[in-house]
Structures are given as structure tokens and as C-alpha cells.
Amino acid sequence: MLSRLFSEVLPDVQRLAADWVEDNENEDDKAKDEDHERCHLDDDELDEPQEGSSRAESEMAGDDDEDDEAEEEECGDENGGDKPKKRGPKKRKMTAARVERSKVRRLKANARERTRMHDLNSALDNLRKVVPCYSKTQKLSKIETLRLAKNYILALGEILRNGKRPDVVTYVQMLCKGLSQPTTNLVAGCLQLNTRNFLTEQCPDGSRFHMPSSPFSVHAYSYRCSRLSSPHYQPGAGALNLRGHSYGSAYEAVYPPGGTSPDYSSPDYEGQHSPPVCLPGRQQESSETDRNYHYSMHYSGLTTSRPGHNLPFGPSGARSGGSHSENIPPFHDVHLHHDRAPPYEDLNAFFHN
């Protein structure tokens, strides 16, 4: 599933990576040119042997043993006769050319590694955009992005398998399994979850959430979470175990007064991908950056690929028990028979009706 997800975002990732590489190639080339100028080494010269300062470097230079034989002979008896000769492969002197060549190799490898990591980060950024909570300014950490993506996929699979819409609480529970508490709070906020409901829901293990002093208010909440993953994070400590502490969120989700349903008629609504269910919440701050706070909730609508078939999701978010549609193929069937997951547009507005 994950690989399929990656394959879907791959074109974007590749494009972004290509852009990035293009942007940075000049710099790299410049750096390389500088190196070459400094070393006065062309490619042929770079193939000259050199002794690395480590095993890897000497292995890297190992292909040039024969070319370097003469040089070895030249400097082979540096020890003179007073010291016994060591067994094993001869230690080769690290000539200036070898040192330079090693440096150039290392620089090239570093540049490749940087590019590789940037590509990986681009892919992660794309993944961030398709998981339920997305912000350009307050990114989920890498690990949280992967966890949330996994949960999201599992949740969607569960929906397809059951053919019915879960209530928000259940959905958030699915999404937040194993996530840090700040991220859990964030997801809950993105889904406009009123903690009066949320916190009294059963945990998957049957225990009840308890939050003596909820950071959420009925009409609005403002929880502080300047870093989504805090030192308080306890992996495996149980999802959705919200406590009544503030985690420093920079977001504020505003509920309709007295209501638990999101107000998607809000002027802040920015389209199907990004209903701004979380508003800038830094109190006393109204910077441009804050105005750009922007979270999206992608899991909001779901239709099957079959024409005219809609999942029987109830409008209230309550489970429509026993409403499993037999027209909905089992999840594994969906997985096997559809090359693509349901379009994200279809997934949006899932809770928007």
C-alpha cells in the first residue's frame, strides 16, 4: 500500500527532485570545478591510485594498484632496514594526488548523498500533503508523517472493507494509533473533534480517555504545540491519550458555537483539499506566517470507482450499524483490482456533508 502511495506521488517527487537537482547542480558543478581547479586533476588523473586514510579509501584506490606499482617501488623502502617488514599488503604512501583524488571522490559522494536525501525529503513532503493534516509552516516530523500515513491507509482500508462511515472519534482513533500526543492533538484538531465527545470515547483497549482539564473548549480550543513531537512523547503509550496539558500548539481550531460539526461554510474554507479547520492560533500574533497556517483534512469524502455507487455514510458521523454494502468489495479485492487508490478528491469532504 505504502509503495503504491509512493508510486502515485512519485511523478511529483521526481519533478520536484529534478527541479531541486537542477537548482543545485550548478552549485555542485561549481564546487566540483573548484575542486578540479584546485587539484589540477582531470578524470584520468582522478583514476590515479591513492592511499586512503581508512580501509575504505584504500579499497577505493585498490583498482589502481598496478598503475601505482612503480610508485610503490619508489617509496617502498622508506622504513629502511632497521624495522622489520610487516606482512600483508603493502602500505602505500599517501601521495598528494591520492589525497586529492580521495577528497574529490568523497565530495562527489557527499553531493550524491545530499541529493538522495533531498529527494527523500521531497517524497516525504508529498506524503505530508496527502495525509489528513498538512501545513506548510508546521510540518509533521518524518517519523510522524510515516506513522500517520500508515494509519491513514489502514483507516481507509477499514472503511472500504466495512463499507460504512466511521464516526469522527473512531476515525481519529484509527489515525492516531502510535502517534505522539502533540500529533494526536493536531489530528484531532484538524478533524474538528470536540473533545467532549472525543475524550469520553472508549480506547481501543476498552479503557476510557480521561482528561481532567481539557485544553479544548466547547467552542474553541487553543493548544500550543510549537513542535509536534515533544519530549513527552512516549511511543506505544497508547493513542489518543490526551492529557490536560498544553503541548504548545500554534494552531487554533474554532468550532461553531455550541456545535460539534465543522463549519465548512466558513470563509476560511480553501477548497476541497484544504479546509482550514485549524486557524492560526498563536495568541497575540497575527503575522503573515501565522495567516498562512493551513491545515487540510483529506479524509472527508469517499466514493467507490463504481458509477452511481456511494458508500452509505451517515451525515451525522454516527456509525450506520449493519449497513455494510455488499456492493463494496472486500478491501483486498479493492487492493488487487484497482491500480489506484480512490482519488484524493473523492476522499475529501468525507466529513463535509
Partner DNA sequence: TAGGCCATCTGGTCCT
Partner DNA sequence: AGGACCAGATGGCCTA
What residues make contact with DNA under the rule CB under 7 A? Answer: 46-47, 53-57, 59, 62-64, 106-114, 116-118, 121, 139, 141-144, 180, 224-227, 229-231, 233, 247-248
**Cβ at position 220, least distance to DNA in Å:** 19
**Cβ at position 74, least distance to DNA in Å:** 21
What Cα–Cα distance (Å) separates residue 206 from each residue in 276, 285, 315? 32, 41, 26
Q: Is 16 helix (H, G, I), strand (E, B) or coil?
A: helix
Q: Treating both helix axes as pointing N-terminal to C-terminal, what angle do 168-175 and 142-162 enclose, rounded to 10 degrees?
A: 130
Q: Which is nearer to DNA, 178 or 314 (CB)?
A: 178
- Spatial separation of the C-alpha atoms in residues 228 and 176, rounded to whole Å: 13
* Helix-, strand-, coil-residue percentages of the chain, each rounded to 5: 45, 5, 50
As a residue count, the chain comes to 353
**Cβ at position 234, least distance to DNA in Å:** 9
Q: Which is nearer to DNA, 5 or 168 (CB)?
A: 5
- Spatial separation of the C-alpha atoms in residues 47 and 57, rounded to whole Å: 13
**Cβ at position 69, least distance to DNA in Å:** 14
Contacts of 119 (CB under 8 A, 6+ apart): 13, 17, 20
**Cβ at position 262, least distance to DNA in Å:** 26
Strand partners, 222: 252
Q: Which is nearer to DNA, 183 or 214 (CB)?
A: 183
Q: Which is nearer to DNA, 171 or 251 (CB)?
A: 251
Q: Which is nearer to DNA, 151 or 320 (CB)?
A: 151
